[in-house]
Amino acid sequence: MTDAKTRIDETVKSKDVVLFMKGTKEMPQCGFSSRVAGVLNFMGIDYSDVNVLEDEGIRQGIKEYSDWPTIPQLYVKGEFVGGCDIITEMTLSGELDTLLEQNGVTYDKAAADKIREANA
């Protein structure tokens, strides 16, 4: 597990935005991963995806790393943000916009506004 933890730590700290998910950003393998990837893709966020289905060590290790039991998991600038429900709530409330802005992460504000309008 140490090797997985080291790889997770290096990935999270070397990329601005990382999504640990089931599947890939182009082909999510579960509804929750699809929802978060869909939001990030729609908002034009440049992020790295890690398919936990390819490596059992990473799949279990990420849960221990974050002390969060579910996948997907989003990290921004090395910090754990949350899973599907939290990302959905943050997107709808505008908190995700604020977090991205505070961390210098580029995104499409108009797209974020469209998500909120569609869910109002």
Q: What is the pLDDT of residue 60?
A: 95
Q: What is the pLDDT of residue 120?
A: 86
* Structural domain count of the chain: 1
Residue ranges making up the domain that contains 113: 2-118
Residue indicated by tokens 């090395």? 78
pLDDT tens-digit map of 15-26: 999 999 999 999
Dihedral sign for Cα atoms in the order 117, 41, 101, 21: positive
The answer on whether 30 is annotated among ligand-binding residues is yes
CA–CA gap between residue 18 and residue 58 (Å, rounded): 13
pTM to 2 decimals?
Answer: 0.95
pLDDT tens-digit map of 39-80: 999 999 999 999 999 999 999 999 999 999 999 999 999 999
Q: What is the pLDDT of residue 106?
A: 97
Please report, for residues 20, 56, 96, the alpha-carbon distance to residue 6 in angstroms, rounded to integers and kept in the order given: 15, 14, 27
CATH of the domain at 66: 3.40.30.10
Would you say residue 2 has pLDDT above 80? no
In this prediction, residues 76-87 reach a mean pLDDT of: 97
